Structure formats: C-alpha cells, structure tokens
Copies of this chain bind each other. A is one copy, B any other.
Amino acid sequence: MQPFSYASSNQPSSAQLDATFGALADPTRRAILARLATGPASVSELTAPFQMTQPAISKHLRVLEKAGLISRSQDAQRRPRTIEAQPLAQANEWLERYRELWEARYQQLDSLLDEMKSMRTP
C-alpha cells in the first residue's frame, strides 16, 4: 500500500505520471483495467480473453502494479488483482489543467455551427 496521506491534493511526482501514462499507453493493459473495474480477477481469468501467453500477461500486470494501478492479493494458488484508482485520479488531475483549452475549442466549434446556421436562415 502507498504511504498514507490525508488530503486528496497530494500531487503526483513526475515519475509517477510517467509510470501511469506509460501503463495506459497499451491496449492490452487498458483492457485489463477495464476488466478489473468490474471486480478482482485471477491471472488466468485475465489471460483468457487474449491471444497472448500467460507470461506476457504477467509482464503487463507487473507494469500496472509498478504504476500502482493494481494490487495483488492471495487466494490459495490464485493471486487475484484489484484495481487501484488513485493513479487514475492523479492522471485526471493532470489533464484537468488543460480542460479550459479543449472547452475553448468546443466553443469555437459552436460558433462555427452558429455561423453556418445563420447562413441558411437569411
């Protein structure tokens, strides 16, 4: 587990963002996260949907775990993984700083559409 901190405003280190975004930059790992969002799953369950071998999935799980995006527990021989949302929240916080940028973009699009509309209604 991560060291405890009180506030939700602990800003992520650069290395943490590197790891998080790096982990998300792969479709297999995003699919694994999507699966884990519905609840914990064993390695073989996580392997089943893919054409890859089990060691390949284990590698992906290692990447996700090092980024703090999943954690490992134990159930007999099984090592179920659980999604950990905090790094996702941090990535989201980082992106939020650019929100007004893309919202301004939509504003431009809106006014373009308005303009087009006014051209059809003279």
- Chain A residues in the interface with B (C-beta under 8 A): 6, 8, 14, 17-22, 24-27, 30, 33, 37, 83, 85-86, 88-89, 91-92, 94-99, 101-102, 104-106, 109, 113
Contacts and interface: CB of A to CB of B under 8 A. Distances in A.
Q: Is the interface of A mostly helix, strand, loop or mixed?
A: helix
Contacts of A19: 25
Copies of this subunit: 2
A8 B104 CA distance: 12
A21 B14 contact: no
A18 B14 contact: no
A86 B105 contact: yes
9 contacts: A17-B27, A17-B30, A18-B26, A21-B22, A21-B24, A21-B25, A85-B105, A88-B95, A88-B98
Contacts of A22: 21-22, 25
